Amino acid sequence: MRNLFGWAGKILKVDLTEGKTVILQTADYIDRFLGGIGIGEKIYWDESSPDLAALHPDNPLIFMTGPLAATPAPSASRVVVCGKSPCLYPETFTNASFGGFFAAELKRAGYDGIVTKGKADKPVYINIENDKVEIIDASHLWGLTNGKTRQIIQEELGGNPRLLSIGPGGENGTRIGVVVSDIASCGSVGFGSVMGSKNLKAIAVRGSGAIPVADPERVELIRNRFKAMIGEGYFNLFGTPTTFPGSGVEFVNKIHCHGCPQGCWRSIFRSTPGEEGIRKCVGGAFYTLWD
């Protein structure tokens, strides 16, 4: 059997209309299509047609990782979402991505990606725990914010599942609906609305596996060189804004995505009364400094 270094080896396909799952083999794609984006685009056009509207039930929405996710490689554990955007005119195939911890957890559960298609007859969420995949009634979650949804699902499942979810905007078909993950989001092309059109409220994942790499020592060497380069770079020379003069808000710590040795503009702050845990607006930090 071929050793797929960097890959989990399976892609989970979920038919929400039928309530069934199928496994695709990652090995069928990796020699011809580059990374998560390449594989996601190939699967999209295998499963779709140019005339399908973005919010049509048969329009697939695909969540892919790359071969470096869940490995020691720095800043590589991202999810790329592939589909047709409802907020572009004309509606067009595109992709967007987000960081956090979902990609690494999905790979540890044994999957390189998730393909969703169809529409459930009621709100549902997908629960993935290694080889166990469930489609669970989410009627009680419909209408709730992402934060409340995350809290309830974590209480229902126990442990610390990694989640992505949508809020009322995506549910109600606004064309700019956002997919929200742990500490990140995919907000530029309206894929939250595509999830909503499928009655898909959330995806939860827990995994206990590991992803092998061909040369662990060399990966660690590259990681250390990457850390050294970042230490000399613009983030450390100029930084992202960490204080607000006169506001009484104190910087506490950076927030890191999986495998990131640096930490960027996501931060935790403490206010004057001692209230802690306020996260800085990502967009405000990023676009202000680098536009």
122-166: pLDDT as tens digits? 999 999 999 999 999 999 999 999 999 999 999 999 989 999 999
Q: Are strands 113-117 and 10-15 parallel, antiparallel or unpaired?
A: parallel
Please tell me whether residues 44 and 174 are part of one structural domain. yes
**Residue with tokens 């000399």, as numbered in its chain:** 232
Residue 202, pLDDT > 80, answer yes
Of residues 270 and 136, which shows the higher confidence score?
Answer: 136
CB atoms within 10 A of CB 225: 11
* CA 65 to mean position of chain CA atoms: 9
E strands, 26-139, in order: 61-64, 79-85, 92-98, 113-117, 124-129, 132-137
- State the total domains in the chain: 2
Asked if residue 94 belongs to a domain, the reply is: yes
pTM for the whole structure: 0.87
Instruction: For residues 103-118, give the mean pLDDT.
Output: 98
Asked if residue 280 belongs to a domain, the reply is: yes
**What pLDDT is recorded for position 272?**
62
Residue 200 belongs to domain with CATH number:
3.60.9.10
Please tell me whether residues 78 and 174 are part of one structural domain. yes
**What pLDDT is recorded for position 223?**
86
Which phi and psi (to 5°) does residue 250 adopt? -110, 135
Q: Are strands 185-186 and 179-180 parallel, antiparallel or unpaired?
A: antiparallel
**What pLDDT is recorded for position 239?**
46
22-65: pLDDT as tens digits? 999 999 999 999 999 999 999 999 999 999 999 999 999 999 99
Distance CA 110, CA 208 (A): 9
235 falls in which pLDDT band (50, 70, 90)? low
Of residues 253 and 22, which shows the higher confidence score?
Answer: 22
Tell me which residue range forms the domain holding 150: 10-206
Please tell me whether residues 185 and 255 are part of one structural domain. no
Apex 124 CA angle, 55 and 208, nearest 5 = 110
176, 188 Cβ separation under 8 angstroms: no
Distance CA 159, CA 156 (A): 9
Least confident of 196-200, 243-247, 268-272: 243-247
Distance CA 239, CA 280 (A): 14
